[in-house]
Structure 1
Amino acid sequence: MNRILSSLIAVAFIPTAAAQTGTPPAKGTPALTEQTKVSGGLRPAEQTALTFDRADLAFELHPDSYRLTGVATLDFIAKAPVARLVIDLDHNLPVTAIAIDGVALPAGRWSNPQGQLTIPLPRPLAAGGKVSARITYGGTPHVAVRAPWDDGVVWSKTPSGATWFATTAEGYGCDLFWPCFDFPEGEPGSVTLHITVPKGLKAPSNGRLLGVDTLPDGRTTWNWRTDHPNTYAIALNVGPYEEIAGTYKSRFGNAIPMFYWYLPGEKAKAEKLFAEFAPTLDFFESMIGPYPFGNEKVGVVETPHKGMEHQTINAYGNGYAKAAEGFDWLFQHEFAHEWFANQLTAANWDDYWLHEGYGTYMQPSYGEWREGAARYAAMMNGQRGGIANRVPIVRGRVITEEEVYEADKGGPGLDIYNKGSWMLHTLRWAIGDKAFWDVTRLAVYGRLDPKPGNFVPRFGSTTEYEGFVARVTGKDYRWFFDVYLRQAALPDLIRTRTGDTLTLEWRAPGNGPFPLPIELAIDGVRRILPMTDGRAALNVPASAHVVIDPDARVLRRSIAIEEMQAWQSGQQGRPAK
């Protein structure tokens, strides 16, 4: 039996029933500190001075008391001298013991009043030095109000009354249930998980399954290992799951195991969803490159919340909904994040459009790959009305996750999805298909020739992305990103006519240059205006029928959409007739 697991059982054992008894904690409880609610942003020097080498995490779920206990062994390598460890951990999970390099610290040597555990080291650590901290903790984890949009744990029951439990931590961060560095670049090099659950329950999680241990009382411990996990990607999922498994033979020559864990009684629906796995994989591998975690698995688990991109164990809670496009958009969206979030991770939440803009754009791109241009256009059109343009997507400073999503903190919110997707749609038209997918490949893998084994997960930024566009096209597109990412308003294309002269002029927010070409259809004949100086004039008979941007390739101001959004806002709260 694993050494850490043995310690967990000895220190934190509570007899566990197979189903919950008593009253579960109310949503939103126990309350979180403001510190725990912060994910990302500027970090303590003690955290940036360390490389998070690996973590060994042992958890035990106690459904009878709605508790979670754990033992975390965290290994760090110093990049600069450091005298103490500063580790993020919700104070609702109090620490009962800490050992540094195997030596127990006296009680009271650590503190965690607000959710940032501070541990003075017995001896200062020099650059290049290594340290291992073993932290025993446990308590009542924060219950999400509306997962996954509000983070925490979800206690639920299946139709048969069995425990159904999940974690989600994208917003408030990994410190909701394990001690971590709660910022994007704080991801550990590897994580080994040991998840002990009551008899009859399963615990699918991240990475490769190392084995399942059955304890004398019928409880089981599920052992997993994953490399380079995104900080919020570690996930606990517990339920009476049934499993579908298969193997995908990649176009890159490797064989990738695939798994779907679903609730009993849903086999027929589960098999239909599982049938989408292989063609979706083929789409991503053909358009972008190898599945990033082929040596681990493709994993999906049914959850009591909508969904989340938990690396190699994506959460699925879409209820097997059917849609006109013929595929499950939520499964596809979360799966897109294996490339755009888990393989390519934004180093700063200010660049979060790299996750969600691309994740959103992959649905119409998949529709195009499956059915052609009409499906792509219909799906892009469906996103267009959701663009708000209230604040810029990128602000040029280190920010927290909350400053992206929350309007009262100046966040662009859903614009990182819809506006990010439409910006990519426009960029693809402006630079051409080959250049666009080459830029995408560079952003994801850092190279144009990705193959299994020649890349690892990486961090990216908006500035780096602009550099990739310049490298591939040989042109500087800073003006393009300045308008779409660093300005709130959209560029406006002004059309004027004097006799037989038609003049088009870009008016860009910020009054900077915007030489984006535009296509016209003049009596059905198409031509592209280069708009080199942001304007163009051409001779067009007054009787001609002119359609600007006939394929809707360019994201620009639409008065019709603004009026529709204003009307919709006015309808909110009005009684139906």
Structure 2
Amino acid sequence: MNHTLYLQFRNLFNFQRYAWLIVFLVSSNMLLSQKTFTHADSLRGSLRPARTSYDVWHYDLKVKVDPEKTYITGSNTIQFLVKEKTSQIQVDLFQNLAIDQILFENKALKYHRDGNAIFIDFPRVLSVKQKHQVQISYQGQPRKAVRPPWDGGFSWTKDPSGKPWITVSCEGLGASVWWPCKDHPGDEPESMDIRIEAPKGLMAVSNGNLISSTPTTFGTEYHWKVQYPINTYNVSINIADYAHWSEKMVQLNGKPLDLDFYVLKNNEEVAKKHFQQSQEMLRIFEKYFGPYPFPKDGYALVETDYWGMEHQSAVAYGNHYKNNAFGFDFIIVHESAHEWFGNSISCTDHADLWIHEALGTYAEAIYLEEKSGKEAAQLYLNGQKNNIRNRFPIIGPYGVNYQSPDSDMYFKGTWMFHTLRSIVADDKLWFSTIKDFCLSFYHKNTNAEEVLNFFEKKLKRNVKAIMSFYLNHAEIPTLVYQLREVNGGYNLRYKWKNVPGDIDLPIEIKHDQGLGERIHPTDTWQQIRLTEAPQWDFEHFLFQVEKQN
């Protein structure tokens, strides 16, 4: 590795790449680490009978957005399939939003609220395999975003011309901050209709394809349709005086893909030039991860007044048309990678959001390696490594409303995958495994156990235990060693300090000649003879060392 080049990029990379993310997470991690989970957290995060008894089939969401009053009025028709006999289901909606009525078979239903949870009572027991629907009408002033997208809600801002600019971000916070739904990552609708009524002179952009735009006395209702399963937090509202253009891209499989771009009119010229990198990125991701997961809905970038978010088929972009020191816009790359990792492959519990973020972040390095080579990708990974905190396990507690208190699911997660690649030392096998993972879990919800089993089976080695260590321990593997110079050479004694002996986690020792030697430490002392002092390979393996006398 070119050390001079690394130093040249390091400070710029760290500040430009993740400064706001680190500041926000560090400022909040003390509060989150001391949090005791409440009854409300359990209602939001757990799968109890009132949730497991039904499976959402379709949402038909209709929302009128009034920026002058910072007010929304709407309804959501929830079509669902009964999985277990029930006379009650749970739906979620923040308690500051008022419910006007809940209709079932054209009759108003009784319900009660428990904080942000709504328990709907049916007049009879619903039988298994039956399909039903309820319509929930509601209104109110939704929570205003504090620091979007991390502390989200509705953003009521103005564009440079003074016109209203309204956006929504709610990952972690939950989609129920602004619309009634089954707000749990384990249940996605098979499809969705989204109807947004915007004021006159403004365009409303959401997920999927625009089906129609209908004039109203208030302005225009824009009807969008999503033809695939979608995470509730990915459902988006973007209202502004947008400029719009479309492009066609021929995918690697020869099929056309619609690309759409929505930006503030003042930014149209710079955006058309800056967004040209999108097609190259999508082709690289297709090569490594398989076809774009939502071809019927197309791919879109939508300008927002916050940094970015992986809203499915309507990726939020707010990085002010800036490339990083490596020549690409990381928001475009990272958030678009989530179309594969997070949107197509989704976790079933918030504790496993690392499946979204670790692989979404690792995709940035894969993109850069294909575009600029291994050395550039290694520099990029080195910069990310400086942000690893080792304060909390990557995997959080299951069954509660959990949000990770630091950034390790991004950076430690991506270094876990980088380490696995180095352990495997077979790029053909490694990248075919990543691609097979994307294809095998296409449009599926999954969890850590399934992911670890998949990688172990495909790589044909005991990587499950290695991955489990990185995911479930706050600290990284620590190698303790003793070095003695004897007869012109070196005796190296070594062992793991904190890794159980049944985990085979090899590492490399580098030499001046550039050749490496792989060792397999355990939790008991081993010894090896070296002709020169060891140089630990910290660029391909995530571990640390402690020297003992």
Same fold (TM over 0.5): yes
Deviation string for 1:289-343 (max 9, x for gaps)?
1110111111111111111111111111111123211110011111011111000
Shift of the 211–536 alpha-carbon distance from structure 1 to 2, 3 Å rule, reads farther
2:494 maps to 505
1:347 maps to 348
The reply on whether 1:444 has 2:438 as its aligned counterpart is: yes
Distance 1:300 1:497 in 2: 55
The amino acid across from 1:531 in the alignment is: H
Shift of the 504–334 alpha-carbon distance from structure 1 to 2, 3 Å rule, reads farther
Does the aligned pair in 1 maintain the 2:197–2:222 contact within 8 Å?
Answer: yes
Deviation string for 1:346-399 (max 9, x for gaps)?
11222211111111111122111111122111111111111111122125x524
Shift of the 521–559 alpha-carbon distance from structure 1 to 2, 3 Å rule, reads closer
Does the aligned pair in 1 maintain the 2:63–2:195 contact within 8 Å?
Answer: yes
Deviation string for 1:186-207 (max 9, x for gaps)?
2111110111111111111101
Distance 1:184 1:381 in 2: 32
Does the aligned pair in 2 maintain the 1:491–1:506 contact within 8 Å?
Answer: no
Deviation at 1:86, TM superposition (A): 1.4
1:547 maps to 535
For 1:482, which of 468, 474, 478 is the aligned residue? 468
Within a 5 Å distance, the mapping from 1:460-471 to structure 2 comes to 460-471=446-457
1:134 maps to 135
For 1:472, which of 447, 458, 471 is the aligned residue? 458
Within a 5 Å distance, the mapping from 1:330-345 to structure 2 comes to 330-345=331-346
DSSP 3-state at the match of 1:424: helix
DSSP 3-state at the match of 1:257: strand
Deviation at 1:34, TM superposition (A): 7.3
The amino acid across from 2:95 in the alignment is: H
Deviation at 1:556, TM superposition (A): 0.6
2:410 maps to 417
Distance 1:484 1:325 in 2: 28
Distance 2:314 2:38 in 1: 29
Deviation at 1:36, TM superposition (A): 7.0
Distance 2:251 2:526 in 1: 48
Distance 2:421 2:410 in 1: 16
Specify every segment of 5 or more residues in structure 2 that has no aligned partner in the other structure, as ranges: 1-36
2:101 maps to 97
Distance 1:522 1:515 in 2: 23
For 1:556, which of 535, 543, 547 is the aligned residue? 543
The reply on whether 1:220 has 2:213 as its aligned counterpart is: no
1:563 maps to none
Q: How many residues align?
A: 505
DSSP 3-state at the match of 2:432: helix
Shift of the 48–113 alpha-carbon distance from structure 1 to 2, 3 Å rule, reads closer
Does the aligned pair in 1 maintain the 2:481–2:545 contact within 8 Å?
Answer: no
For 2:444, which of 458, 470, 477 is the aligned residue? 458
Does the aligned pair in 2 maintain the 1:212–1:221 contact within 8 Å?
Answer: yes
Distance 2:519 2:144 in 1: 55
Shift of the 393–508 alpha-carbon distance from structure 1 to 2, 3 Å rule, reads farther
Moved more, 324-333 or 41-50: 41-50
Deviation string for 1:98-125 (max 9, x for gaps)?
2102x1216xx22225121222112210
TM norm structure 1: 0.83
Distance 2:498 2:522 in 1: 15
1:156 maps to 157
Distance 2:97 2:295 in 1: 34
The reply on whether 1:53 has 2:53 as its aligned counterpart is: no
Shift of the 186–40 alpha-carbon distance from structure 1 to 2, 3 Å rule, reads farther
| Higher RCO by CA contacts (8 Å cutoff, separation 6 or greater) | 2
Shift of the 497–375 alpha-carbon distance from structure 1 to 2, 3 Å rule, reads same
Does the aligned pair in 2 maintain the 1:307–1:330 contact within 8 Å?
Answer: yes
Structure with greater proportional strand content: 2
Deviation at 1:554, TM superposition (A): 0.3
Overall identity of the aligned pairs, in %? 29
1:524 maps to 513
2:83 maps to 79
Does the aligned pair in 1 maintain the 2:47–2:399 contact within 8 Å?
Answer: no
Distance 1:146 1:325 in 2: 27
Shift of the 62–557 alpha-carbon distance from structure 1 to 2, 3 Å rule, reads same
1:206 maps to 207
Shift of the 204–37 alpha-carbon distance from structure 1 to 2, 3 Å rule, reads farther
Does the aligned pair in 1 maintain the 2:358–2:413 contact within 8 Å?
Answer: yes
Specify every segment of 5 or more residues in structure 1 that has no aligned partner in the other structure, as ranges: 1-32, 407-412, 448-455, 561-577
Deviation at 1:283, TM superposition (A): 0.8
Distance 2:474 2:495 in 1: 16
2:403 maps to 404
1:572 maps to none
Deviation at 1:93, TM superposition (A): 1.7
2:7 maps to none
Deviation string for 1:456-478 (max 9, x for gaps)?
51012211122112211222223
Shift of the 34–461 alpha-carbon distance from structure 1 to 2, 3 Å rule, reads closer
The reply on whether 1:329 has 2:336 as its aligned counterpart is: no
